[in-house]
Amino acid sequence: MRNGNGRGTLPAGVVAGATGRAAGPVGTTAAAGSRTRRVAAGAALGLAALLATPATALAAPASAPVAARVTPVAAGALHEPPHAHAGHGQDSVRYVSVKGCRSKGGEPRPCGAWRVVMHSGARGTLPDAQTIARDAKGRKASTVAAPVAVSGNGQRLAYFTRSGRLALRTLGGGVSLLPENALPKVAQYETGLRLSDDGSRLAVSFTGDKARDTRVFDTGTGERIGTIPSAYELKGFSADGGEVLAGSEDDEGSQILVAYSDAGQELARVTPPQLIASNGPPALSGDGRTVAALVAKRRLALYDMASDQVTARLKVKLPAGDVEMVDWTGPSQVTVHLVAYHDSKPDTVAIAQIDTGTGKVTIRDRYPLLKDTFVFAACGG
């Protein structure tokens, strides 16, 4: 849930505690399902492979492993139109969504289990995932969804289990639990989760009154490999996950962008031109130096942090909707997620790919969210 909270990630930022239809990144995007279409039983089996493997502990023993349960849907009852994502190369998570319930005279609130929608159209749930965010003492904040993140390739999920542990679930690879002391004791609605495009890295950022460094984890081992200073807001990973982009303001109110290695080593620090500073969200290329930023949805600007030069201003024509996520998905490709909100029909997501050499826009995917969605988190890229 880039925000979806995106990739994205849900609370704290595209992805900080979400109380509406989309959370934020990182992020972190939604559910679909207006037409009914049957898909092959293999789709349901692919979903089961994602969700039905026992939990194991990473880096430290788990005191109480969480059972990795799954609620698969029979193949004949699947309601998502199939979608082939060539970039993923296999079935993958399209997005996760939690239902919104409204008590009589009350505000909407998250309820039920997180729902997983695959690109194949298969659908299931994550019963072991926390739905309602908890505060630092474990009490539920009934109007806020707990954070969830989906990797850009749709192969990995990050979320809190009902026992409060941070979990990493991989397509066909089971679920692993980070050590109990992996994170400080803070409210889940002040915690943002962001996975890299390939799911190999997880960044956990924090909001709230007390400043805390962003923590970067190797999702294969559960090891914390780096930190980003608390003075800088997490913007996201580079396309290959090897770098992290962060931002802040100097004493004069000017925007600062800083590129770090995934181990926390500062690689570049710039005060970008106003064209970049005032637009966005910014996304870092796999080269660790080129930043892309959307300018009023009409242009894509490219900026080189090494030379401090704007290297391109490309006219683009994007679909209707609010920009939810911007990611580099290739050496010359930027992918944009947009969400269009509607009053009388389900909100819709459009995913546009921009050729950074020509500005040509290709629509990769377009789908409606489940009409009862309270918040969602989509795959990036």
Scan for tokens 């200073």, then name that residue. 229
| Alpha-carbon separation of residue 265 from 191, 200, 243, 285 (angstroms) | 23, 18, 9, 17
Domains and CATH numbers, the chain: 41-378 (2.120.10)
User: What is the pLDDT at residue 49?
Assistant: 55
- Looking at residue 250, its pLDDT comes to 84
pLDDT at 351: 96
For the stretch 95-154, pLDDT in tens is: 999 999 987 778 889 999 999 999 998 999 998 999 999 999 999 999 999 999 999 999
Distances (CA, A) of 20 to 4, 132, 151, 217: 10, 13, 22, 29
Predicted local confidence at residue 266, as pLDDT: 97
**Per-10-residue mean pLDDT, the chain, length 381:** 38 32 34 32 51 58 34 32 49 94 86 94 92 95 95 96 95 90 96 96 96 97 96 96 95 92 97 95 97 96 98 97 95 96 94 97 95 91 64
Tell me if residue 47 falls in helix, strand or coil: helix
Position 89 scores a pLDDT of 54
Identify the pLDDT of residue 252.
84
Instruction: Please report which helix (H) or strand (E) contains residue 303, including its range.
Output: strand 299-304
pLDDT at 15: 31
Question: pLDDT digits over 352-381, tens only?
Answer: 999 999 999 999 999 999 999 999 999 876
Q: Which residues contact 4 (CB under 8 A, 6 or more apart)?
A: 10, 14, 15, 18, 22, 23, 24, 25, 27, 28, 29, 30, 95, 324, 325, 339, 375, 376, 377, 378
Looking at residue 102, its pLDDT comes to: 87
CB 151, CB 94: distance < 8 Å: no
pLDDT at 8: 38
Confidence at residue 36, expressed as pLDDT on a 0 to 100 scale: 29
- Compute the distance between CA of residue 334 and CA of residue 329 in angstroms, rounded to an integer: 6
